[in-house]
Structure 1
Amino acid sequence: MHRGFFGLLALGLTFAVPAAAADNLKITGDETVVTIETDDGVVDITRQKTEAALIGGVLQPMVPVPGVTPVGELEVLDALKTKSAKVVDMRTLEWRTKSTIPGSIHIPYTEVAMRLNELGCSGSQGAWDCANADKMIAFCNGPACPQSPTAIKAMAREGYPPEKIFYYRGGMQDWVVLGLTVAEDMF
């Protein structure tokens, strides 16, 4: 039988309440608490650092730029297997060397606007022709990491077609939590 949140409350199960608001991670911007009204009263939703969280950051949208398609692990695996899209680690070198998705290429988010030629565009920064742009999957550290969303925005601003950009928002955090193979010391 399926028991929802309120069914669990009826069973007497409780949920941990954060010790202090100062311990809360940001959800968006400066927001550390989202207060909602439920049938059973007010609930404060907070975010706490866990063993699985790679970074604090703030939660990122599923679609950082209109036209970009969010994808999950199965789509990333298919792209790696079939070479139907380039899987691009958009994190800094420090993060990539710790661990990355095997078969991914590295274009740091701070350099992507200068390196679109590696994704099928011709020209140079400020004057890219992306008519023949490759399909690509961007990832970084996970749902609270701004690196790939920042890169995606820069790519779109430079003329990269958003419909050729796929965003693996789960990134390394979800990849590792799911127990998928990682590569280390990749440059």
Structure 2
Amino acid sequence: MNKHWMLAAALALATGTVAAENLRIIDETTEFVVTKANGQQVTITRTMTPCAKNKGWIQVMEPEPGVTVVGEIEILNALNDRDALVIDMRSQEEYLAKTIPGSMGIPYTEVATRLDELGCEKSADAWKCATPKKVYAFCNGPVCPQSPMAIHAMVREGFPADHIYYYRGGMLDWDALGFTTAPGDF
């Protein structure tokens, strides 16, 4: 390594002027150009912050037609609703470390094969969801693709979209608002 490069890198670290990594905004896009009323252009970027949960990308508000987007009040009420399940769709490790108290952990990679736990029955080659539970799905927050991917898979397999409630804020918003968390359990 060049001595001058090493000195410049050390100085940048010491002064906090290290170039931040631009994260994805929409799909693979890392920049969004806005033209202001005066004709000037501004480039909007996204970088990792201390409160961010991951380097995902911004998720749409409605991952599937018919899915209802909810906030914290709806999650709190769902936790006491016997016909509802609040499902943490993050990885098992994340769920076991910290989750919304009273939630159930089903990793996003498994939910489409576990619809029986959500009120559906498996026939020879398809799921029948005559009496599905109300499912409140969440993951790490607005930049986490885990629960939207799970929701797509659930609907593809026959789970009715109108029984899915997407808590887009997820653990990011839950933590930011100071709500109680607990280790997940089986």
Check whether the contact 1:114–1:125 (CA below 8 A) recurs between aligned residues: no
Identity %: 53
CA 1:114 to 1:124, structure 2 compared with 1: closer, same or farther past 3 Å?
farther
Q: Kindly report which structure 2 residues correspond to 1:1-187, keeping only aligned pairs within 5 A, or say none.
A: 20=19, 23-40=21-38, 41-123=40-122, 126-187=125-186
Instruction: Give the conservation status (yes or no) of the 8 Å contact 1:99–1:186.
Output: no
Change (3 A) 1:65 1:78: same
Q: In the aligned structure 2, how far is the partner of 1:51 from the partner of 1:145?
A: 16
TM-score, normalised to structure 2, is 0.85
Give, in whole Å, the separation in 2 of the partners of 1:107 and 1:185.
11
Indicate if the aligned counterparts of 2:101 and 2:184 stay in contact, CA closer than 8 A: no
Unmatched 5+ stretches in structure 2 = 1-16
* One-letter identity of the residue aligned with 1:173: L
User: Structure 1 residue 81: deviation in Å?
Assistant: 2.6
Q: Which has the larger Rg? A: 2
Q: What CA deviation, in whole Å up to 9, does each residue of 1:111-135 have, x standing for no partner?
A: 1111101000011584110011111
Moved over 3 A (4+): none
Q: Give the paired residue count.
A: 169
CA RMSD of aligned residues (A): 1.7
Question: What TM-score does the superposition give when structure 1 sets the normalisation length?
Answer: 0.85
In the other structure, the counterpart of 2:4 is none
Distance 2:175 2:86 in 1: 16
Gaps of 5+ in 1: 1-17
Q: What is the alpha-carbon distance in structure 2 between the residues aligned to residue 28 and residue 62 of structure 1? A: 13
Q: 1:149 to 1:75 in 2, by over 3 A?
A: same
Which whole-Å CA distance do the structure 2 matches of 1:185 and 1:52 have between them?
Answer: 21
